[in-house]
Amino acid sequence: MTIADVAERAGVSTATVSRALTGSRPVAAETVRKVQRAAAELGYSVNSIGRALRSNRTDTIGMVVPSISNPFFTSLVENVEHALGGSGKQLFLCDARSDPAVEAERLRSLVARNVDGIIVSPTHGVDSAPAVLEAARAVPLVQLDRYVDGTSTDWVGVDDIAAMRLVLDHVHAAGARSAAFVGSLLTNSSTERRLAGFQQQAEALRMTVRDDWLLLGEYSIAWGEQALERLAGRERLPDAIVCADDLIALGVTRACRARAIKVPDDVQVTGYDNIEFARLGEPPLTTVDQPGKKIASEAVRLLAAASGTEAAEASAHIALIPKLVVRHSTRELPDRH
Amino acid sequence: MTIADVAERAGVSTATVSRALTGSRPVAAETVRKVQRAAAELGYSVNSIGRALRSNRTDTIGMVVPSISNPFFTSLVENVEHALGGSGKQLFLCDARSDPAVEAERLRSLVARNVDGIIVSPTHGVDSAPAVLEAARAVPLVQLDRYVDGTSTDWVGVDDIAAMRLVLDHVHAAGARSAAFVGSLLTNSSTERRLAGFQQQAEALRMTVRDDWLLLGEYSIAWGEQALERLAGRERLPDAIVCADDLIALGVTRACRARAIKVPDDVQVTGYDNIEFARLGEPPLTTVDQPGKKIASEAVRLLAAASGTEAAEASAHIALIPKLVVRHSTRELPDRH
DNA sequence: ATGAAAGCGCTAACAA
DNA sequence: TTGTTAGCGCTTTCAT
């Protein structure tokens, strides 16, 4: 079932069929009708491989995320899909399994498949860099949320430093004078900048931060639970535990419950990302809301812009300002201390 | 950067380059080395569009799920990726947004892209059927978890009836003599069969099931919350609330907490799927564990089998027996009643 | 407005 | 073992 079959049935040339079906050039209305009828009768549908080979476009955007099981990334994916909307482009989604090697393979594969553009949230700040930069050389590429060191590609995300300022101001206002930070190993830009923001603002507010209150593991519930065990094993708990994402925070609050540590009375806990499950914790998490819709639409816009002009114009770094969502894992009102 | 460039540099023909790089036919070791060096020096990488057009294989499997934000499906995706493992095949993931129209478009697009096979969990038992069957006519296709009416394609999932028997036996043993069911509208096979299993076993155990205790909405936390509001508004609560998935169950237990209804003392609650967040609820959910790894590997196996033989052999329906994971949203021991 | 024909990058017959 | 060549399905000049 090829364009040639349709051409024969409609009594025209293959070129005319192509033009009639894609509307790339003017074709007589009468001819268009004939062609469409023939195509319908034959149940013809275009072979996008043939089209891609010839036109060098695939109408496909590749997207690579560190982990599809992290709800923050799935919501990012949904937002990107939505932003792509009626553009006629499809999303080719890849999971890097938090492994730069897998990620590199995925990126190479996307390039080999001639995707029209790539949206990537790199797994690792350093180890992901070579593959990301190589891919960026081949096709328009936008980094999302996270980015690799020494990059000059487009990037869209939130201002982590500003976010941490919001978080610390909030727990400080509620009486916290000491704080711990639970994040992932410093291997990606998110944690790095969140930790930097944490330390910066903690200092500005003269809050106590002990070295052994900086716990770095991974973005998971299990690590949050472990981290709390470590903190609880020490002589005293900090007034607040600031987590680098909601999964960690959910683990922390869960472990608190298991140990009968009261949140927020004994210790305040904050998350980051505002995933759907954040309000489900006990207590519901105070967290940083990332403007996922806006991030996605900006990314798609940048990609479209990059595909349009051949000349690589100045690339953009867009940092959006997040907002704090206050729930019940932090105290509402100031407290004597 | 094409195969011709490499051929020129290595001083051989394009055919030899192809053979040397893919290993499809024997090539002298010396020649292979020459070709590989030339390819490396030029930074050549295969253009998979060209390869696909010629060989009619894309080394790509398409997967369509109802909703990527449902953790059950993301874990299914992860399992499939893992099962695909070193096979050299990539997964092209699509989200149907729980909309048969979107789903149909995705399926058509996958077929147009010549994927080697499709794994789909259909959104709707009836409305998804035409598109699924059409896709199945074009390429090997396996249905996962859910299936469409009147289908004769391969299918892998769990035995929902057996699962419901486990659930009801368990809550009954703990003293429940009446039960409600909260599911989604009866538009897909999962809910349909889970409800059927529920009713069947409730009758066998002579448990009370009122008509207005059958609540059908959607697979979401929000619907679980709503459903509990409706149940709580009635004169009395059932002894047990059986939910068609964990999201719903998490919503139900959350609403219970809000209303100070004690789980499991006032009412027992069960989920289905055993998503990671199930243990995070308050209390942690008793739920049905789906053998996701096994489901995925069977699906991949069926797909490979279907691709191998041209002759469509008898298709398989594989129903795995799930197991019950008992946590704290149900009572451990029998109770006076 | 339409047709003829070239060619995108690759692989697989067929020859040598 | 290697080379020559045809052609996968499509779009796009270049003619007409």
User: What is the per-residue pLDDT for B88?
Assistant: 84
Distance B22 CA to D4 C1' (A): 20
User: What is the per-residue pLDDT for B335?
Assistant: 47
pLDDT of residue A337 exceeding 50: no
Q: Tell me, rounded to whole angstroms, the distance of Cα B208 from its chain centroid.
A: 32
Mean pLDDT of A163-177: 96
Contact between A215 and A241 (Cβ < 8 Å): no
User: What is the per-residue pLDDT for A302?
Assistant: 92
pLDDT in tens, B73-82: 999 999 999 9
Contact B53 A58 (CB under 8 A): no
pLDDT in tens, A36-93: 999 999 999 999 999 999 999 999 999 999 999 999 999 999 999 999 987 889 999 9
* Closest-lying nucleotide for A13 based on CA to C1': C3
Contact B45 A281 (CB under 8 A): no
pLDDT of residue A336 exceeding 50: no
Residues 109-148 on B with a CB inside 8 Å of A are 109, 111-114
Contact B49 A47 (CB under 8 A): no
Mean pLDDT of B203-217: 95
Q: Are strands B154-158 and B179-184 parallel, antiparallel or unpaired?
A: unpaired
pTM of the model: 0.92
Distance, first Cα to last Cα, chain B: 78
Residue of A nearest to B81 (CA): A95
Give the minimum alpha-carbon distance from B43 to chain A in angstroms, rounded to a whole number: 11
Hey, is the C-beta of B95 within 8 angstroms of any chain A C-beta? yes
* Closest-lying nucleotide for A7 based on CA to C1': C3
SS (H, E, C) chain B: CCHHHHHHHHCCCHHHHHHHHHCCCCCCHHHHHHHHHHHHHHCCCCCHHHHHHHHCCCCEEEEEECCCCCHHHHHHHHHHHHHHHHHCCEEEEEECCCCHHHHHHHHHHHHHCCCCEEEECCCCCCCCHHHHHHHHHHCCEEEECCCCCCCCCEEEEECHHHHHHHHHHHHHHCCCCEEEEEEECCCCHHHHHHHHHHHHHHHHCCCECCHHHEEEECCCHHHHHHHHHHHHHCCCCCCEEEECCHHHHHHHHHHHHHCCCCCCCCCEEECCECCHHHHHCCCCCEEEECCHHHHHHHHHHHHHHHHHCCCCCCCCEEEECCEEECCCCCCCCCCCC
In DSSP terms, which residues pair with A65 in a beta bridge?
Answer: A95
Structure tokens at A9: 């049935």
Neighbour-count burial for B118-149, b at 16+ CB within 10 Å, e otherwise:
bbbbbbbbebbbebbbebbebbbbbbbbbbbe
* CA–CA distances in Å: residue A11 to residues A16, A25, A38, A41: 10, 19, 9, 14
Hey, is the C-beta of B48 within 8 angstroms of any chain A C-beta? yes
Contact A69 B75 (CB under 8 A): yes
Distance A58 CA to D9 C1' (A): 14
Q: Which residue has the higher pLDDT, A295 or B305?
A: A295
Q: Show the domains of chain A with their CATH numbers.
A: 3-46 (no CATH), 60-157+291-318 (3.40.50.2300), 160-290 (3.40.50.2300)
Contact between A146 and A183 (Cβ < 8 Å): no
pLDDT in tens, A218-269: 999 999 999 999 999 887 899 999 999 999 999 999 999 999 999 999 999 9
Give the sign of the dihedral formed by CA B68, CA A190, CA A266, CA A215.
Answer: positive
Contact between B269 and B330 (Cβ < 8 Å): yes
